[in-house]
A and B are shown apart, each in its own frame.
Chain A
């Protein structure tokens, strides 16, 4: 099997102007995977440097807003000598279709990866319809 070499994606700054922070910290748009099964949607976002306490998830009028606030600071008393990535928070919005049960959304954060599960409402789950022969 061919080994796939991993390349970093350049961090993209979040474009929405409403994402501007107050501390002059840049906000980036996290890389996201979204997949759907019969019962739920799962959203996985890379937010290195963000603790679980630094995550804010907000859902309003079907707009899902993810925010990750990072408290990374320069290590005390040390001088930066080389820099390839910028530190900062994360911000991204998605428009949800109505099929998600907004009450049952849950999220967890581990190793800088945020995982949100968005269960579908029961009426959106596919129902098998029997075709009767006349």
Chain B
């Protein structure tokens, strides 16, 4: 006879229901149109991009990746983030209980909708997040034109 095991405690089911409810609430709250983590491209590292008149700011989650293990190259309309996340090494005698943190090589090309100045790109890394400042090229910056009056 086949044995059916039901080994999830009830409290687990309730917390799962609670989580689903929260998630639905949030989706309705955000609306369906905006981009969300759901649209993640499935490539590492995940990035967010912000913009103002002068520049774009790209942030990427790279926890545990040393600055010297990241290589950034920029062209007029794209940036490439390349590197390696080294595996955790507990030494020969370590036995692993859990291994959820991924390691390996990554290469990510992000295209930028406007032309940027590749010579002025700056990168900093803070608390496991990479910040890339991508100044827009002079001729794509919005310019305010003064209307002269000719009396």
Residues of A within 8 A of B (CB): 3-11, 13, 15-17, 26, 31-38, 41-42, 44, 46-51, 72, 74-75, 77-87, 111-113
Contacts and interface: CB of A to CB of B under 8 A. Distances in A.
B25 to A, nearest CB: 11
A8 B19 CA distance: 22
Contact of B16 (A9, A15, A33): A15
B63 A113 contact: yes
A81 B49 contact: yes
Given A35-B90, A112-B64, A112-B127, A79 B37 contact: no
Given A33-B99, A49-B127, A111-B65, A80 B48 contact: yes
B61 A48 contact: yes
Contacts of B78: none
Contacts of A34: 96-98
Contacts of B42: 7-8
Interface of B: 15-16, 18-19, 22-23, 26, 34-37, 39-52, 56-57, 61-66, 85, 88, 90-91, 93-106, 113, 125, 127-129
A17 B50 contact: no
Contacts, number: 165
Contacts of B96: 33-36
B73 to A, nearest CB: 18
Contacts of A32: 98, 100-101
Nearest to B18: A17
A15 to B, nearest CB: 5
B107 to A, nearest CB: 8
A32 B16 CA distance: 21
Given A33-B100, A49-B127, A84-B47, A11 B52 contact: no
B15 A82 contact: no
A67 to B, nearest CB: 15
Contact of A4 (B46, B63, B103): B103
